[in-house]
Amino acid sequence: MLAGALESERVSHAYLFHGPEGTGKRAMAISFAAALLCKEREAGRACASCNSCERVRKLVHPDVHFLFPAPGDTNEDVFAERLQILGANPYETTDFERKPVLNSSGRASGKRVIYSVEHIHKNVHRALGFTAVEGGYRIVILSDADRLMVQAANALLKILEEPRPRTVLILTTEQPDQLLSTIRSRCQGIRFDRLTDDEIVTALEKRNDIDAASAAIYARMADGSFSRALDLAVSSDLIELRSNVVAFLRMAYACKAPEVVNYAEELQRLSREQLRFFYRLLLLWLRDLLLQKILGDTARILNVDQADAIRKFVANLPHANIESMIEAVEEAHRLVDRNINSKLGLMVLATTLSSAMRGEKSSPLVTSLSASM
């Protein structure tokens, strides 16, 4: 659609790319900017290799301005650092909301991540007010546009009401309904849908050189978001955590209290995010057990490299009630957010799983957890 607009010279002054996180809104905005400025454009698409394309991709082109909402006291160096990362990989998580501190999964500073009216005046007015440095389009990409404060939104509205020739403003957002309707109505909306697991797997394999088996697991957990899949792939040691999952199940089955306590203590050291990841891996493992049990070797299991272990597990535990095991883990996963002592949670879970693996009836996790407190 965007290529068609370029071909027919019917480019809008403003676009609103909206859709869930990790579906390529920013990457598409950068790619469209490249196409707008490319000297070797073909069929409305950027050549991706000329000097102009190269500079747009790296976000160093003087006529392309990429903006993030940010805490009020953010200085230029901090913006520059994030732009550089985004220029290297347009799918990287670089916004201040999800990554308050780079290279860390640290929690937000509590400062509000916004566009102030000064930010809009300084960056949008200035960028679109002058003539283009290189004589083509001038483009502003305003990511997470739902973070416009009222005054900033009004300042932006003025620009949208009187667009200069050969200027393009691209807004991106996950929450279009948070924007002023007067802004929405002046933009051409383009919706971005969640990606399929297959699309994510292909992208992880091609772009990030991740093996198919791991890619399938990340894709499954990413819920249609490529950037989340990428975050998982970069930040977690999947293989190590998964071996913890298997060890945890074995230990739960063996039901040796001291070992379970030791293990729970070890896992207690995981961050909340890692613990969540651990539980999700455990769920995927149980899902595979269930599939294997029902469908036998025709099952399309996710942990493909562990097919043997899964087969043995199912064969050795003919009475296991896998559905109740899944319920217990889902409950434990939910409890992570409720500040339940993680060691206690793991110990109760181990007990519940142990009975379920033997096909014994067990009380739901919450009941046993509150009974043990």
List contacts with Zn ion (CB under 5 A).
Answer: 38, 40, 46-47, 50, 53
Closest distance of CB 56 from Zn ion, Å: 8
Coil, strand or helix: which one is 364? coil
Closest by alpha carbon to 25, among 275, 225, 222? 225
Following DSSP, what letter does each residue of 45-61 receive, concatenated?
B--S-SHHHHHHHTT--
**Length of the chain in residues, anyone?**
373
Given the complex with Zn ion, which of 46 and 200 has the nearer CB atom? Answer: 46
CB 28 within 8 A of CB 1: no
Q: How far apart are CA 251 and CA 350, in angstroms?
A: 8
* Residue number, 40 or 273, with CB nearest to Zn ion: 40
Strands 64-67 and 14-18: unpaired
Closest contact distance (angstroms) between CB of 11 and Zn ion is 16
Q: How far is the CB of 166 from Zn ion (least distance, A)?
A: 18
- The minimum distance between CB 172 and Zn ion, in angstroms, equals 22
Nearer to Zn ion, 51 or 372 (CB): 51
In whole angstroms, how close is the CB of 58 to Zn ion at the nearest point? 13
- Cα–Cα distances (Å) from 222 to 101, 196, 213, 237, in that order, read 22, 10, 15, 16
Question: Could you tell me where the DSSP H helices lie in 269-341?
Answer: 272-295, 307-316, 322-335
Q: At closest approach, how far in Å is the CB of 48 from Zn ion? A: 6
CA atoms of 230 and 24, how far apart (whole Å): 12
Cα gap 257→292, rounded to integer Å: 29
How far, CA to CA in Å, does 110 sit from each of 74, 169, 178, 262, 341?
Answer: 14, 29, 21, 35, 24
User: Which of 42/193 has CB closer to Zn ion?
Assistant: 42
**Residue 135 Cβ vs Zn ion, minimum distance, rounded to whole Å:** 15
Residue nearer to Zn ion on the CB measure, 45 or 98: 45
Edge-to-edge strand ranges of the sheet holding 188-191: 64-67, 138-142, 167-173, 14-18, 188-191
CB 70 within 8 A of CB 100: no
Q: Are 266 and 347 in contact (CB under 8 A)?
A: no
User: Which C-beta is closer to Zn ion: that of 53 or that of 217?
Assistant: 53
Least gap, CB of 50 to Zn ion (angstroms): 3
Pick the closer one to Zn ion by CB: 45 or 311: 45
Is 47 or 307 the residue whose CB approaches Zn ion more closely?
A: 47
Q: Which long-range contacts (CB under 8 A, 24 or more apart) does 269-272 make?
A: 270/342, 271/105, 272/336
Between 50 and 304, name the residue whose CB sits nearer to Zn ion.
50
Query: Measured from the CB of residue 93, what is the shortest distance to Zn ion in angstroms?
Result: 27
Q: How far apart are CA 161 and CA 177, in angstroms?
A: 20
Quickly count: other Cβ atoms within 10 Å of residue 324's Cβ: 20
